[in-house]
Chains A and B, each alone.
Chain A
Amino acid sequence: MSDLPTDTDTTAADTVAAALDAPNPVRALLAVHPDASHATFTPRVGPPQDVVSVSVEGYHELVAGLRGIGFDGFVDLCGVDYLRRRPRFEVVVILLSHPRRRRVRVRVGVPADAPHLATISDLYPGANFYERETYDMFGIVFDGHPDLTRILMPDDWEGHPLRKDYAVGSVPVQFKAAHRAT
């Protein structure tokens, strides 16, 4: 049962331990992630939400760190296609800490020419289906995902429907058995 992440070095582990006692653990954790930036969004309803932006390279380590400081619940993972922005895609992960009663939102920009991101399904098994959906809808490849296949669209569907350059409208039925029905 040792598939849990064990590759964090001692300094990172110390920071995690220090972050556990800090008043804002997310902000304290970011001390070891120089490529991550932090903002707090205070909505009209509900508590403030921590929003962390991070690079593709630092993404997996940051999520591992968040898991280490008590974000034990996986809530959501989805993609966004900003089309004209660089990087074009963004993957948004929402994690939840039950003991701290806090949510954190991790945003990571993914470039269109290399839509790759490390999987977090090794940290949160619940990310499995969500990453498959994001791959299905946006074509973002989650490296290391155990079973990266389409999930909502048929297996032989062409294109990734939620991309902004995938047109809405009449699409010929693409089910693979259709042409055999003669």
Chain B
Amino acid sequence: MSDTPNLVTGDLETPSIEPPAEVADVDAAAGRRRRALDLWMSGTEESAWLQGATAEGAQELLPAAEDPALAVQRGTVVTDDFVVEDTTDEDQRQIMNMGPQHPSTHGVLRLQLEVEGETIRRVKPIIGYLHTGMEKTGETLTWLQGPTNVTRMDYLSPLHNELAFSLAVEQLLDVAIPPRADAIRVLMTELNRVASHLLFLATFGLDIGALSMMIYGWRDREAVLGFFEKVTGLRMNHNYIRPGGVAADLPDGWEDDVEEILTIVPQGLAEYEELLNDNPIFIDRTQGVGVITPAECQAYGVTGPNARASGIDWDLRKVFPYSGVERYRFSVPLGRHGDTYDRYLVRVGEVKESLGIVRQVMETMPAGDYRSEDRKVTPPPRKRIDESMEALIHHFKIFTEGFKVPAGEVYQAVESARGELGVYIVSNGGAKPWRLHVRGPSFAHVQALPAMMTDSLVADVVATLASSDPVLGDVDR
């Protein structure tokens, strides 16, 4: 690469966390606005303590007159469903908090809703309640430990996280991956997509009142998670896909387990479609609800099933294929209306396509190594450790010190169950990433919630939120 960053390792330059004057100015301005907001919010002296204990300060919804974000929304993309001139009295409006401890917010998402009667006038998602500094943690872990960290971000599709991270590291390393490892990766990530979408069906059904879907979805997902446990040792957060290949080969008899999944899931899916697709209550709750246009999807960075439900024919497995996924035949289900119902239909379609890919992978699974035999990144075989001191040292060093990755920066994205999951890595040639940034699809989807929810009804908030399927671990990282 011609523009490799000229990085220097070593001691810190000026160990100070004092922000420069300009940053302090902005912080001070935020503080002033926060105090003004507190006054505006409280009204009474008695609520002052409660304000301090519960308010999020400047991150909250601003007074409507001072809300410049609204102007951006109005001017740039939100043109179809936004009431620009409303003549209603401001006194008729009130601000409600939904979340963070609300069961239908799928974690700890907080939505500040400005409602006028039953109508949502403004929405502001407030996030960060699950922020644990995983990008910072990633800078302290070696390249081999990295997957244990990123797998916990989008915890409903952990294998996609690991895959994106591993592919990015492999680009910098420039190692070749054996065909069997690629096939195992595709098999596992597609099964992960099935598991994630089954969980979507479960929670989506629960949120809009189809309570039995909760049980059905979790039940079928168990079949996939049981297989994951057999292969990786864990039901979630597998650390299975690693730079250089996968951690272990598939266990004996894996075909039978996959065959069982390929029997159970389609049977269940047929039942759920019969239960929901033409159900008048379900249709009333979902059709025409939470519409997002293709232009809004592109501008807000909405990807994956949510964008495809709006009719954007875009699947990274088709346009930027990785891990040999282009070898398998599958189609990309598209919606037309961009509403909650289409987002549900697209996901049901994707489960079927993923199962098709899984069957093709199973029938064409190549023999060979399950990880690269490049000794730079993979430890030596177990029996070599018994007979060679060098192999023992090598094994020890690869798990303590880790391998070094050439300096450079790279962006690699995969199509996770939620959309474009990108990993941006900067390496300075050391044994740890200099910078690890994960572009989580849910972050963009939460950002686009105001575009979906504005001027809809309070009852539709839950349906819209559930259909956009955010994972807060992915949002907050």
CB of A81 closer than 8 Å to a CB of B:
yes
Please name all residues of chain A whose beta carbon is closer than 8 Å to the beta carbon of B174 when the two chains form the complex: 44
Are A159 and B17 CB-contacts (below 8 A) given A44-B174, A78-B424, A101-B319?
A: yes
A82 touches B5 (CB 8 A): yes
Is B26 an interface residue when CB atoms closer than 8 A count as contact?
yes
A-B contact count (CB 8 A): 208
Q: Identify which of A105, A146, A167 gathers the most chain B CB atoms within 10 Å of its CB.
A: A146
Tell me the chain B residues, 105-135 only, with Cβ under 8 Å from chain A: 127-128, 131, 133, 135
A158 touches B17 (CB 8 A): yes
Restricting to A141-182, which residues have a CB under 8 Å from any CB of B?
Answer: 141, 146-156, 158-168, 176-177, 180
Contact between A73 and B76 (Cβ–Cβ < 8 Å)? no
Which residues from B are CB-within-8-Å of A82?
Answer: 5, 7, 434
Q: Which residues of A contact B140 (CB under 8 A)?
A: 168
Binary CB contact string for chain B from 34 to 54 against chain A (1 if under 8 A, 0 otherwise): 100000000000000100110
B interface size (C-beta, 8 A): 86
**A125 x B76 contact (CB < 8 A):** yes
Would A126 and B411 be within 8 Å (CB), given that A51-B3, A98-B314 are in contact?
no
State the majority secondary structure of interface residues on A: loop
Q: How far is the CA of A180 from the CA of B50 in the complex (A)?
A: 11
B72 touching A128, Cβ below 8 Å: yes
Tell me the complex Cα distance, A40–B413, Å. 17
Known: A41-B1, A141-B22, A166-B17. A161 touches B136 (CB 8 A): yes
* Closest beta carbon of chain A to B244's beta carbon, Å: 13
With both chains docked as a complex, state the minimum distance between the C-beta of A46 and any C-beta of chain B, in angstroms.
Answer: 4
Please, how many angstroms separate the alpha-carbon atoms of A149 and B67 in the complex? 13
**Chain B residues with Cβ under 8 A from A105's Cβ?**
411
**Which 3 residue pairs spanning A and B have beta carbons closest together?**
A3-B75, A146-B68, A155-B57
Instruction: Give me the interface of B with A, judged by CB distance under 8 Å.
Output: 1-3, 5-8, 10, 12-17, 19-20, 22-23, 26, 30-31, 34, 49, 52-53, 56-59, 62, 67-69, 71-77, 79, 127-128, 131, 133, 135-137, 139-140, 167, 170-171, 174, 176, 298-301, 312, 314, 319-323, 409-413, 420, 422, 424, 426, 434-435, 437, 439, 443-444, 446-448, 476-477
